[in-house]
């Protein structure tokens, strides 16, 4: 179940976070992701072999040994992606078995993303950094086929506009290793009726990736990461004011109920999504011919919440999935996804009700253009 929340926007300068902070913090939410934020595709070290081979040497440049940072390619590489996804879910409200009210639903997601590669920079003779920026606008429509009436239409957590901005600093290391510092800013809001911001979150993350290139050309990828999410949304007082404005309920009535329950209007889910995340994943990329790619994967993600009533809460999510991508042309592709998720929540008895299982299957059509 989603809270209807708005909040004061984080200064956008937080988005341009120093990677040193991400390293200092034991650092991605399902909001998200969670959310929410997709990782950039990581290339194996062979991709940069040519540029590394052209690195300055002492014979070519007597000062070469003193130049720690060398620009391999400073050209900006912008690209645009437009995609449409149609998905099926077996648990639209993400409810536990004992409280589940709907066994299925569908959703339509429209996404527009802009990616900007910031060049390739050599560090020493064997390391390359390829920083990139990404901006994503996504709109989700719940229940475009099944007609459950206004229940799905009005739920603020099911019909959302989401803006995502991210900065990634991948360091390509020898032997197909990668070390990635990233920072993601996420801002979901409602769009049906009066536009209301649900929350804001900032997530610095540190990831370690190892690719195993097989003789067949297939790739086994292993990754481990740590993150910390800073979130902001409304207090109960701010939420009740919005609820009173939109429904006509008396603010004094809502305040009286809250006080009788022993709560203060200053309390609320202002930063209840703050927490430390740890993630481990493994995937196998199988090339079938020149156009078809199959990727089975498995991931584990845990979040230990650190603020308010969620302080004793811990979420563990397991995902097992299979995706297939077929590239008709360089600019047009279609992909299919099937994914089963298990979420287990510990802490209090109320937290245990947040556990759920969900199966998601879907089809995505994407158009890409690189400038």
Cβ atoms within 10 Å, residue 197: 19
Per-residue model confidence (pLDDT) at position 310 = 78
Residue 319 in contact with residue 338, Cβ under 8 Å? no
What does 217-281 look like in DSSP terms, one character per residue? S-EEEEEEEEEEEEEE---HHHHHHHHHHHH---HHHHHHHHHHTT--TT-SSSSTT-EEEEEEE
Is the pLDDT reported for residue 284 higher than 60?
Answer: yes
Kindly state the average pLDDT of the residues 139-158.
66
Highest mean pLDDT among 54-58, 187-191, 274-278: 274-278
Phi-psi region of 314 (alpha: psi -120 to 50; beta: other; left: phi over 0): beta
Q: What is the pLDDT of residues 167-187, one digit of tens each?
A: 999 999 999 999 999 999 999
CATH numbers and ranges of domains, the chain: 12-234+269-370 (2.40.160.40)
Q: In a 10 Å sphere around its CB, with 0-12 CB exposed, 13-18 middle and 19+ buried, how is residue 160 labelled?
A: buried
> Is the alpha carbon torsion for 28, 29, 33, 35 positive or negative?
negative
Kindly state the average pLDDT of the residues 280-293.
96
- Residue 154: its H or E element: helix 150-154
State the pTM of this model: 0.71
Question: What's the pLDDT band for 354 if we cut at 50, 70, 90?
Answer: confident
Is the pLDDT reported for residue 78 higher than 50?
Answer: yes
| Of residues 72 and 36, more confidently modeled | 72
Exposure string for 103-140, b = 16+ CB within 10 A, e = fewer: eebbbbbebebebebbebbbeeeebbbbbbbbebebeb
């Amino acid at each position: 179940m989603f809270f209807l929340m708005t909040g004061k926007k984080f200064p956008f300068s937080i988005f341009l976070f120093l990677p040193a902070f991400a390293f200092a913090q034991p650092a991605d939410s399902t909001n998200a992701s969670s959310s929410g934020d997709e990782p950039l595709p990581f290339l194996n070290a062979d991709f940069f072999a040519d540029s590394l081979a052209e690195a300055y040497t002492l014979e070519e440049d007597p000062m070469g040994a003193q130049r720690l940072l060398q620009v391999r390619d400073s050209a900006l590489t912008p690209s645009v992606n437009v995609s449409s996804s149609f998905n099926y879910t077996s648990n639209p409200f993400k409810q536990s078995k004992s409280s589940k009210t709907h066994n299925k639903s569908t959703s339509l997601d429209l996404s527009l993303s802009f990616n900007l590669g910031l060049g390739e920079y050599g560090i020493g003779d064997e390391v390359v950094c390829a920083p990139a920026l990404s901006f994503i606008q996504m709109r989700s429509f719940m229940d475009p086929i099944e007609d459950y009436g206004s229940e799905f239409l009005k739920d603020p957590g099911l019909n959302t506009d989401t803006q995502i901005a991210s900065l990634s600093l991948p360091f390509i290391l020898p032997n197909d290793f990668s070390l990635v510092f990233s920072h993601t800013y996420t801002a979901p809001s409602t769009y049906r009726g009066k536009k209301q911001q649900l929350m804001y979150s900032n997530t610095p993350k540190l990831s370690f990736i190892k690719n195993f290139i097989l003789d067949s050309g297939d790739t086994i990828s292993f990754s481990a990461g740590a993150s910390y999410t800073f979130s902001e949304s409304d207090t109960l007082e701010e939420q009740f004011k919005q609820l009173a404005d939109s429904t006509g309920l008396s603010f004094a009535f809502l305040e009286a109920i809250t006080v009788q329950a022993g709560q203060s209007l200053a309390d609320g889910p202002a930063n209840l999504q703050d927490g430390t995340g740890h993630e481990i994943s493994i995937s196998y990329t199988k090339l079938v011919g020149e156009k078809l790619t199959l990727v089975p994967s498995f991931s584990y993600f845990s979040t230990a919440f650190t603020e308010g009533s969620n302080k004793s809460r811990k979420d563990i999510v397991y995902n097992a999935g299979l995706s297939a991508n077929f590239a008709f042309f360089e600019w047009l592709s279609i992909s299919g996804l099937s994914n089963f998720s298990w979420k287990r929540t510990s802490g209090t008895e109320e937290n245990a009700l947040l556990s759920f299982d969900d199966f998601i299957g879907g089809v995505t059509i994407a158009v890409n253009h690189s400038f």
